[in-house]
């Protein structure tokens, strides 16, 4: 299969790249869905996992703020431009960025290490005594991971710009396997710090797996920092505003951790687990499509081919919605079954299950907004425009912070999740409005975009509505046929119900002439 995917990668297209990224993202999410239940089942929802997830927040926030979604989106368009002109210079640019970013991240993490105690007190005001001390200790260890991931992200950006997605898609799987290894082999000997050692091991594997492939495709490290390089100034120009336009999900995790720390023990853990669960299809479908389309959108803009730019954008919007709308509806309908099947064992009790599937259901409402925002923002970044995404993100983040805090204090985790769902939806709507106005200035194909996407949304909503009704009715039809008090019975009932719902969706969407549905049906026909 690996060789077949390598062959698929040879002639680039967004759909092929999305298949590769989506396939391995699915594997990574499946490993993640093994990782989280193992943590919850082996350790239990309570103080230990609250400490574990709280200790993640500041190191994870630093990396996401400064590198992931910031440096990468600033580097890839510039790097793509120079790869087509001068590969040696592109390598020198990437080498300078690697050296600057690793040194800079190391300095930032050193400062965070020195300020770890007051930062942790500010992050989790509800923690005190030994619980606070253990959070500080684990967070200091986790501060190694942003430095490792910074270097790894440069290799990811290099391979993305080179349109080589296979190995970089394997890297997250290695990271999750490292955490699982730590749970089974380090945790029994070192306790909570053993989980931290597993995280660092996973981060190292994430980086090391990409280096040979980057070298094979021309990467050459240069032990210099060329401050006079004009491309560095251009990258900085794109990078600095993007820092302000922080991803809403990261702010939501910070707010969820802060408010959760003053709620009952286990609240921080349940919010993180619910968030990871609802984000699984986001990475498999939406983010993989956005990541695969980014270099192509950048290339269209570099060639000033606005017609191709709008066409590619429209195709990717429809591709994202084809998967995400029905998935989000299924997740809402089957939320209790999903949580019971994945987490309903070990030390994860019934009260934990109820609170989690309620939180998970509300977070699932935000899935459409979360899926479209990265694609819209990358459309701006591909055009080397960071101002509009920054403004929109700032507005959405303010809404998220206010709503999540106010609703969270009054309604607990349900309130935090509701604030996040509202803010994500607002972010996508505002981003689309501004993007449409922006493209209208220089592209006559926008009317065709509106017509195609509008008709597609109507058809996909009709198909998804029928799917939802069939799935909901199927739950009650199959219930008398199985023992719903056992895990096997729940799996059979939900599996048959989801299968009936998906068949209804494919049938209706096929009859309505949705191209993506026809492609899926053709694949099914070839298989059988």
Mean pLDDT of 477-481: 91
pLDDT at position 12 over 60: no
pLDDT the model gives residue 528: 67
Mean pLDDT of 424-450: 80
CB atoms within 10 A of CB 38: 15
Tokens 């509701």 -> residue: 418
Burial of 43 (0-12, 13-18, 19+ CB in 10 A): buried
DSSP state of 185: I
pLDDT tens digit sequence for 296-312: 887 787 777 778 888 88
One DSSP character per residue, 259-326 reads HHTTSSTTHHHHHHHHHHHHTHHIIIIIIHHHHHHHHHHHHHHHTT-HHHHHHHHHHHHHHHHHHHHH
Res. 145 pLDDT band, cuts 50 70 90: very high
Mean pLDDT of 339-344: 87
Q: How far is CA 170 from CA 182, 219, 220, 357, in A?
A: 19, 19, 22, 30
pLDDT the model gives residue 444: 63
User: In angstroms, rounded to a whole number, what is the distance separating the alpha carbons of residues 116 and 54?
Assistant: 12
Write 468-475 long-range contacts (CB < 8 A, 24+). 468/329, 468/330, 468/333, 468/501, 470/500, 470/501, 470/504, 471/330, 471/333, 471/334, 471/497, 471/498, 471/500, 471/501, 471/504, 472/333, 474/500, 474/501, 475/333
Name the least confident of 156-165, 305-314, 448-457, 459-468. 156-165
pLDDT the model gives residue 16: 62
pLDDT tens digit sequence for 204-249: 999 999 888 888 877 777 777 777 777 777 777 766 665 655 667 7
DSSP state of 45: S
Cβ atoms of residues 69 and 242 within 8 Å: yes
Mean pLDDT of 371-392: 84
Mean pLDDT of 349-370: 91
pLDDT at position 79 over 80: no
Percent of the chain's residues with pLDDT above 90:
38
> Could you tell me if residue 234 is left (phi over 0), alpha (psi between -120 and 50 degrees) or otherwise beta?
alpha
User: In angstroms, rounded to a whole number, what is the distance separating the alpha carbons of residues 169 and 23?
Assistant: 8
Cβ atoms of residues 396 and 423 within 8 Å: yes
Mean pLDDT of 250-275: 87
pLDDT the model gives residue 308: 81
User: In angstroms, rounded to a whole number, what is the distance separating the alpha carbons of residues 285 and 322?
Assistant: 10
Name the least confident of 15-19, 488-492, 498-502. 15-19
pLDDT at position 345 over 90: no
271 vs 289, which has greater pLDDT?
A: 271
Tokens 């591909």 -> residue: 382
User: In angstroms, rounded to a whole number, what is the distance separating the alpha carbons of residues 22 and 199?
Assistant: 23
pLDDT the model gives residue 336: 92
Handedness of CA 230, 233, 235, 238 (dihedral sign): negative
pLDDT at position 439 over 80: no
Closest residue by Cα to residue 456 from 319, 263, 279: 319
pLDDT at position 85 over 80: no
pLDDT the model gives residue 135: 95
Q: How far is CA 480 from CA 414, 485, 493, in A?
A: 32, 12, 9
Mean pLDDT of 310-332: 91
pLDDT at position 17 over 70: no
pLDDT tens digit sequence for 86-120: 777 777 777 888 888 899 999 999 999 999 999 99
Cβ atoms of residues 5 and 20 within 8 Å: yes
User: In angstroms, rounded to a whole number, what is the distance separating the alpha carbons of residues 23 and 17?
Assistant: 10
CB atoms within 10 A of CB 398: 12
User: In angstroms, rounded to a whole number, what is the distance separating the alpha carbons of residues 467 and 464?
Assistant: 5
pLDDT at position 401 over 80: yes
pLDDT the model gives residue 471: 95
User: In angstroms, rounded to a whole number, what is the distance separating the alpha carbons of residues 416 and 128?
Assistant: 22
Tokens 């491309």 -> residue: 231
User: In angstroms, rounded to a whole number, what is the distance separating the alpha carbons of residues 281 and 283?
Assistant: 5
Name the least confident of 132-146, 280-294, 364-378, 406-420. 280-294
pLDDT the model gives residue 69: 60
Percent of the chain's residues with pLDDT above 70:
91
Close Cβ partners of 54 (under 8 Å, ≥ 6 residues apart): 120, 123, 124, 127, 135, 139, 257, 261, 268
């Amino acid at each position: 299969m690996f060789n077949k995917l390598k062959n698929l990668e040879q002639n680039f297209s967004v759909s092929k790249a999305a298949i590769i990224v989506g396939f391995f993202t699915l594997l990574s999410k499946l490993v993640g869905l093994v990782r989280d239940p193992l943590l919850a089942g082996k350790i239990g929802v309570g103080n230990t996992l609250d400490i574990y997830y709280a200790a993640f927040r500041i190191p994870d926030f630093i990396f996401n703020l400064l590198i992931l979604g910031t440096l990468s989106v600033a580097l890839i368009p510039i790097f793509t431009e120079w790869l087509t002109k001068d590969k040696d210079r592109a390598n020198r640019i990437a080498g300078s960025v690697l050296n600057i970013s690793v040194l800079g991240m190391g300095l930032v993490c050193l400062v965070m290490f020195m300020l770890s105690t007051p930062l942790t007190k500010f992050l989790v005001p509800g923690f005190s005594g030994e619980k606070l001390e253990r959070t500080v200790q684990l967070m200091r260890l986790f501060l190694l991971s942003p430095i490792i991931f910074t270097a790894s992200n440069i290799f990811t950006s290099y391979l993305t710009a080179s349109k080589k997605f296979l190995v970089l898609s394997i890297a997250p799987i290695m990271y999750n396997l490292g955490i699982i290894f730590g749970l089974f082999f380090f945790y029994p000997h070192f306790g909570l710090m053993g989980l931290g050692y597993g995280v660092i091991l996973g981060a190292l594997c994430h980086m090391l797996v990409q280096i040979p492939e980057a070298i094979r495709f021309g990467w050459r490290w240069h032990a210099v920092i060329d401050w006079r390089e004009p491309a560095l100034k251009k990258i900085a120009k794109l990078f600095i505003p993007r820092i302000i336009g922080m991803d809403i999900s990261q702010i939501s995790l910070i707010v969820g951790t802060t408010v959760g720390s003053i709620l009952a023990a286990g609240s921080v853990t349940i919010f993180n687990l619910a968030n990871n669960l609802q984000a699984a299809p986001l990475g498999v479908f939406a983010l993989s499509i956005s990541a695969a389309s980014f270099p192509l959108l950048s290339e269209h803009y570099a060639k000033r081919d606005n017609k191709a730019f709008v066409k590619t954008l429209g195709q990717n919007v429809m591709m994202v919605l084809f998967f995400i709308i029905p998935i989000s509806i299924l997740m809402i309908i089957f939320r209790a079954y999903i949580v019971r099947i994945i987490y309903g064992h070990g030390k994860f009790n019934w009260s934990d299950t109820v609170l989690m599937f309620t939180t998970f259901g509300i977070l699932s409402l935000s899935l459409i907004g979360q899926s479209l925002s990265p694609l819209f923002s990358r459309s701006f970044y591909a055009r080397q425009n960071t101002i509009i995404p920054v403004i929109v993100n700032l507005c959405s983040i303010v809404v998220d912070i206010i709503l999540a805090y106010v609703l969270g204090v009054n309604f607990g985790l349900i309130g935090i999740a509701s604030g996040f769902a509202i803010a994500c939806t607002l972010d996508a709507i505002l981003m689309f409005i501004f993007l449409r106005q922006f493209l209208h200035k220089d592209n006559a194909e926008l009317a065709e975009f509106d017509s195609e996407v509008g008709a597609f949304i109507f058809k996909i909503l009709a198909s998804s509505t029928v799917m939802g009704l069939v799935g909901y009715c199927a739950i009650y039809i199959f219930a008398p046929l199985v023992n719903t008090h056992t895990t096997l019975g729940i799996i059979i009932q939900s599996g048959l119900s989801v299968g009936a719902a998906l068949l209804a969706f494919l049938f209706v969407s096929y009859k309505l002439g949705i191209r993506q549905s026809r492609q899926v049906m053709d694949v099914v026909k070839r298989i059988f």
